[in-house]
Structure 1
Amino acid sequence: MKIEQFQIFQLCSIFGPLMLGLSLIGQNPKKVWREVGFAVVIMAVIVWGFSSVVSYSHFIFIILLLWIPLLKKVLKISYAFTVIAVLLAFVLFMFQIMISQTIPHYTSISSNEYKLYVNLILALLCSVLSFVVHLTKLTIFPQNIEVYAVAEKSQKTNFKYYLVLMMIVLSILIVWIGFLIGNLSMYPLSHQVFFASVTFILFIIFVSFMRRLSIDAMERIEAILDKQYQTELLGFMHIIRSQRHDFNFHLQAIYGMLENKNYSDCSDYVKTMVEDASTMNDVLPLSHPAISALLNTFSEMASLKGIKLEFMIYYNLEQMPCTVYETNKVIGNLIQNAIDEVEQHPDRPSWIKVMILKRSNNNVIKVSNSIQNNMDSYKNMFNPGYSTKESHEGIGLTTVQRIVSKYNGTIYPEFEGDIIHFIVKIPFKY
């Protein structure tokens, strides 16, 4: 059956459900509405172009599949979250269609124009709700979802099971609502309202249940990360104690070589000592040993990967208002993103510079590395799931941005030829 013009406009009303679906997975509707609107226009043109050869019911299914890669490309979020956002949007969109078919029975008006008005009003309502969800933080996934990216493999696997469960249940809901829409006319009006109400209530209960599961999963992952930080801290302190313990032996060895006038051997020995201690000395000026432990761990990691990681610490972060855990999140995410970027281009010089200083009553953290991508590829860098690596479900810089904003700070990139500098400024605590 040929697709009518009314049905094309009805498909365009999916804009509202898409906004709400994306908001439920943690996207900021203020930042994505242009991209979503652009994607809806593209989809409407495609529907119009094939309206004479494909039936409306078939097109609904085709659009469901096409939305996933389209939004993935436009918004640069992971496939898992894109699929869930699209499935949520289609559940809401089909509720729209069901309501637009049921309400005319109460008004005795059944024209397509009237149904279209109902769809547009419901789409507007969904758009407004998307901003409400974002402002009240009633998202399915918690604000600390970014810890998923640095979790252990077993924890990631458990969380993926939740995502798969959500996809399956939402798909079943879409099929069920589609069945109801196709057979509503077979039932009395009271039964139609009953089926629609029960289905919507079950949908709300399921979304609330998945939100609770997600929060619990992220809390467990954070607890594991806390233990890892404590382990790194203990390891760092052990290294310091070992260096102090060995220091007397080194002095005795140097004294012996000087007594025997083995100046060349003594010089080589001292150089070796300086190289071993330089990394540790670079990170010692920081106010909290947990931050030093993190930098020491990254230094060892970078060394194993053949990356030169240089620290320039001119300030000990004693006026940093963030907790130690939050400070480590900021620094750790910036360095990890730099390592990910440098690893993509083994043919280029592998180096990263980390600078910590204070400027105008601000704590300043600056991480620099070389890049090969053009500037346009970084325009969505603060979106959840952003990554310049095709096969990588990146954590983006949403973690850093959230923490920095919490303390009225700023984060921004600076481009200098083929070098990118990520600069974080957080006001002093008073």
Structure 2
Amino acid sequence: MMKNRNNLFTIFVILLSAVVLVTLGFYFQRLVESGRVVSPELAVVVINVVIFSMVPVLLVMLRKLFLLERQEKIVKVQELYIGHLQELVRVTRAQRHDFVNHLQVVYALLKTGKIEKAQSYIENLYHDVRISGEILRVNIPELAALLLVKMGVASLKNISFTIEVDANLNMLRVKATDLNTVVGNLVDNAFEAVESLNADKRTVALRIFETGKFFVFQTANPGFIEKELRDKIFEPGFSTRSGDRGFGLTSVRSVVEKNRGKILVSSFKDRGTKFTVLFPKQQRR
């Protein structure tokens, strides 16, 4: 809030200074035209002195405004990463606790001679390990870290979260922060859509693949969005839930449009809902 006030004050000072310069110019011009100024050359000198005195001040204020805006962007990025790191630490602690429990279960099954049950238990654990291996194929460290966090969140919420990567993202020219905004909000949106469903319906899938023209990021989950709501969900502040929500999909649309991409929504009562984001391959900046 304080930073916004500082920015508004700076803009106000710049505009006020500009108004003062224009007003002085017209004032001295009228004095010269009316003959009330003995020396027109003196009026010109005064105007020049005022202008050359004000211009450096204006330049300093503009530079300050630019630096403040740049600093705000840096702070927002840092806050985003700090939030992800905090969530990652929390998830890592929970996973460590779960891992110890899993080892104890496997050990107990083997100790009591229940080999087949131990094998079945390990096969179920292998599913999570396989997904972790899929994340390693992303080749974007920031996105990989985000997906690891979301895997942990899904585990804590008892959501079956599957990830499929079939794309080489080395040529994707989208900033990691923008990419995390898109993927993170789409995954969070899918989690929220299923967390109140029965256990067998709490499933979310993320597919990352490529076509001849696009890199595609797609989430799929059970649930249905009425046709009249599909455009409204991208409006700032709109949400079908109560609380401080409704800006995630707005951020997604903003980032997608900035990178000249597309976002598509399909929803069917029998097939669930899909959000598909396409980033054009020709966008290589």
Task: Choose which of 264, 267, 274 in structure 2 pairs with 1:421.
Answer: 274
- Give the letter for the 2:162 counterpart: E
The equivalent residue for 2:14 is: none
- Give the letter for the 1:420 counterpart: T
1:39-87 alpha-carbon deviations (Å, 9 max, x no partner): xxxxxxxxxxxxxxxxxxxxxxxxxxxxxxxxxxxxxxxxxxxxxxxxx
Aligned-partner SS, 2:137 = coil
Q: Specify which structure has the higher proportion of strand.
A: 2
Distance in 2, matches of 1:265 and 1:298, equals: 29
Distance in 1, matches of 2:183 and 2:154, equals: 15
Contact between 1:233 and 1:290, CA under 8 Å: does it hold in 2?
Answer: no
The equivalent residue for 1:226 is: 81
The equivalent residue for 1:192 is: none
Task: Choose which of 104, 115, 138 in structure 2 pairs with 1:286.
Answer: 138
Distance in 1, matches of 2:239 and 2:73, equals: 21
Contact between 1:385 and 1:396, CA under 8 Å: does it hold in 2?
Answer: no
The equivalent residue for 1:109 is: none
How far 1:270 sits from its partner (Å)? 4.8
- Give the letter for the 1:225 counterpart: L
Structure 1 residues without counterparts, runs of 5 or longer: 1-158, 164-211, 243-249
The number of residues matched between the two structures is 211
- Give the letter for the 1:220 counterpart: V
Distance in 2, matches of 1:229 and 1:337, equals: 16
Contact between 2:218 and 2:274, CA under 8 Å: does it hold in 1?
Answer: yes
Contact between 1:232 and 1:293, CA under 8 Å: does it hold in 2?
Answer: no
Whether 1:301 and 2:141 are equivalent positions in the alignment is: no
Matches within 5 A, 1:47-62: none
Task: Choose which of 364, 371, 382 in structure 1 pairs with 2:223.
Answer: 371
The equivalent residue for 1:339 is: 191
Aligned-partner SS, 1:408 = coil
Whether 1:315 and 2:167 are equivalent positions in the alignment is: yes
How far 1:289 sits from its partner (Å)? 2.3
Contact between 2:209 and 2:217, CA under 8 Å: does it hold in 1?
Answer: yes
Contact between 2:87 and 2:149, CA under 8 Å: does it hold in 1?
Answer: yes
- Give the letter for the 1:413 counterpart: V
1:149-182 alpha-carbon deviations (Å, 9 max, x no partner): xxxxxxxxxx6xx99xxxxxxxxxxxxxxxxxxx
Greater relative CO (CA pairs within 8 A, separation 6+): 1
Aligned-partner SS, 2:232 = coil
1:20-54 alpha-carbon deviations (Å, 9 max, x no partner): xxxxxxxxxxxxxxxxxxxxxxxxxxxxxxxxxxx
- Give the letter for the 1:427 counterpart: P
Query: CA 1:263/1:349 → structure 2, altered by over 3 Å: closer, same or farther?
Result: closer
How far 1:335 sits from its partner (Å)? 0.6
- Give the letter for the 1:222 counterpart: V
Structure 2 residues without counterparts, runs of 5 or longer: 6-66, 97-102
Distance in 2, matches of 1:379 and 1:353, equals: 22
Query: CA 1:296/1:365 → structure 2, altered by over 3 Å: closer, same or farther?
Result: same
Task: Choose which of 232, 254, 275 in structure 2 pairs with 1:380.
Answer: 232
- Give the letter for the 1:423 counterpart: T
Query: CA 1:214/1:397 → structure 2, altered by over 3 Å: closer, same or farther?
Result: farther
- Give the letter for the 1:369 counterpart: N
Matches within 5 A, 1:32-51: none
Distance in 2, matches of 1:280 and 1:233, equals: 14
Contact between 2:210 and 2:216, CA under 8 Å: does it hold in 1?
Answer: yes
Distance in 2, matches of 1:219 and 1:371, equals: 37
1:198-217 alpha-carbon deviations (Å, 9 max, x no partner): xxxxxxxxxxxxxx999977
Contact between 1:283 and 1:296, CA under 8 Å: does it hold in 2?
Answer: yes
Whether 1:359 and 2:211 are equivalent positions in the alignment is: yes
> Quick one: percent identity of the two aligned structures?
24
Matches within 5 A, 1:184-195: none
Distance in 2, matches of 1:377 and 1:354, equals: 23
Aligned-partner SS, 2:167 = coil
Aligned-partner SS, 2:234 = coil
Query: CA 1:268/1:306 → structure 2, altered by over 3 Å: closer, same or farther?
Result: closer
How far 1:316 sits from its partner (Å)? 3.8
